[in-house]
Amino acid sequence: MEYKKLVEVYEKLESTTKKLEKRDILAKLFRETPDENLYQIVLLSQGIVFPKFTGYELGMATQMMIKAISISTGFTSTEVEEKFKETGDLGLTAEILIKNKKQVTLIKKTLTVLKVFTNLREVATTTGPGSQDRKIRLVAELLNSAEPKEGKYIVRTILGELRIGVAEGLIRDAIAYAFLIPKGVKEEDAIQAVDYAWNILSDFGEVAVLCKEKGLEGLKNVKPVLGRPIQVMLGIKAESIEEVLKRHPVVIVEFKYDGMRMQIHKKGEKVWIFTRRLEEVTKQFPDVVETVKNHVKAEECIIEGEGWPIDKQTGKPLPFQKLSQRIQRKYDIERMAKEIPVQLNLFDIVYLNGEVLFNKPLKERIKLLEEIVEEVPMKIQIAERIISSDIKEIEEFYHKALSLKQEGIMIKNPESPYIFGRHVGGWYKIKPTMETLDLVIVGAEWGEGSRAKWLSSYILAVRDPDTGEFLTCGMMGTGLTEEQFQEMTERLKPLIEREEGRVVWVRPEIVVEVSYQEIQKSPKYTSGFALRFPRLVRVRTDKGPEEADTIDRLKMLFESQGKFG
């Protein structure tokens, strides 16, 4: 399949804001795509070439991309930079410069989807000495053969800025409309089946191929693959304990640990550990791996819990930031494991020795979990919990959690199946009343005076769930220590995509929890709102940008202040 066919679809998607129109455009594309290209097309429609859980990313630094455009068009890097300053879009810059190439390509091949996909996968996986030059050559090779519009979307794909307004929900619906609904499957059943398979496989490309080949039953019969993370069940925020008890007279109440959620897969002697973002962190936690091998008595299982950093002398919990040091660690892992030991607090099991447990009630899943876990102080235990219908008893348990410096409590319906994502009727979280927002850093500003060497003011954004874009809502420069300013600068530097004087714009990857005094309307930011006096609470290393708070939640919090004009 020629790449220009996909580019034509990109153009159509970019030209409309209507969700149903976008869905139908994608469904037609998927339906008409040859079998051998379907997997590639579905991923490229999301602007990726690997599923997110693999950890491979296309991201290239802006300067590397400028060099690739320069090599392929004959313009100098300085000329490319000048044009980029004019357009503000490196993809559009590539389109203009390819159209006005200074050098003629002697051997120009028609770009295929396979060629683009293959080169981009190599860009994502190339590492080691000389890798930057190799990446630049791979991109320049594509741009040499690209038509202007093809070049635009190749560059945008690599930079993670496809700008076609396609979020995961649209891909899901398009797969259903491409392969199930035309065969008479009800819309609700079709979307539900695609969603189920996606939650297990975490790869829409694979889901689309399976849907086309095996239909509805093929999707319904998908089972977890040990070593590949599944999407997790999440709690929704409840206003009060009373609110939950009105819905569920008897509840299971657990500590909401201030740790890292761990999804743990075990197959014989092999153990994998994933975060709630589905990132694999097995290598960073060799102590947890050994604990699971020795004290989880199951040949195969998928269990969930919170990894909790503890003081090795007292056994008391340490701040989450201590654990984040281990998550980011690439060297001295064994030493860090001894310095900051982790206690595993398990709360669920979804797969046991070949049996899928999603539809079993929570109370039954907990019994199965208890049967296979051998508790060891300071290493592994079943999460502390009570079963109660007494509001006073639950409040006492809540205060106990807070006194131990935990986030709060989780209140769970004992009859609840395991439901992927956030759904009413399953899990609820109760935390102290001050509302915070989980926001994405999309830009920053170099400091002045003693802070001149740091990026010390951060542009914050909420997520638009319909388009996947990030909308700015404020700037934060307080709540960080000197050490944190330095650490944040080091994390942001590799993400810089462009610079405008002292302001830099970065790839949206880092999520921060932010407190604030109030929310105001403001035309200054693209969300239409501004946070007054935003302050850092913590860096959310357990969350990705796709889990940041949405513009809808920002509006809701604004309205809850009683400010409607």
Q: Kindly report the CATH number assigned to the domain that includes residue 102.
A: 1.10.3260.10
Q: What is the pLDDT of residue 565?
A: 29
**Is the pTM here over 0.85, yes or no?**
no
What CATH number does residue 476 fall under?
2.40.50.140
Tokens at 466, concatenated: 């319909």
367 Cβ contact list (under 8 Å, min separation 6)? none
> Mind listing the pLDDT tens digit for each residue in 271-297?
999 998 898 999 999 999 999 999 999
Would you call 256 a catalytic residue per the annotation? Answer: yes
Q: Is residue 175 part of a domain?
A: no
Apex 285 CA angle, 279 and 290, nearest 5: 125
The pLDDT of residue 461:
97
381 and 257 in one domain? yes
467 and 413 both lie in a single domain: no
Counting as low any pLDDT under 70, the low residues of the chain are 59, 103-107, 328-329, 424, 433-434, 561-565
297 plus 416 within the same structural domain: yes
Structural contact between residues 375 and 382, judged by C-beta atoms closer than 8 angstroms: yes
409 with 451, same domain: the answer is no
Strand-pair category, 236-237 with 427-430: parallel
Do 333 and 441 belong to one domain? Answer: no
Domain boundary among 137, 159, 181: 159
Place of tokens 């001894």: 338
pLDDT for 481 equals 81
pLDDT at position 167, please?
A: 87
* Alpha carbons 132 and 126: distance in angstroms, whole number: 8
**Does some domain include residue 289?**
yes
Domain ranges, residue 449:
437-560
For the chain, give the mean pLDDT. Answer: 91
- The SS3 of residue 538 is strand
Conformational region of residue 265, where left means phi above 0, alpha means psi within -120 to 50, and beta covers everything else = beta
Give the pLDDT confidence score for residue 329 in this predicted structure: 66
Question: How high is the pLDDT of residue 434?
Answer: 60
Does residue 170 form part of some domain? no
Number of domains in the chain: 3
Q: What is the pLDDT of residue 431?
A: 81
| 448/373 same-domain check | no
> For 465-496, how does the pLDDT look when each residue is reduced to its tens digit (9 = 90+)?
888 899 999 999 877 888 888 899 999 998 99
The share of the chain scoring above pLDDT 70, in percent, equals 97
pLDDT at 563: 35
> Which residue is catalytic, options 83, 149, 152, 256?
256
Amino acid letter, residue 551: I
Q: Is residue 166, in this structure, part of any structural domain at all? A: no
Q: What is the DSSP letter of 256?
A: E
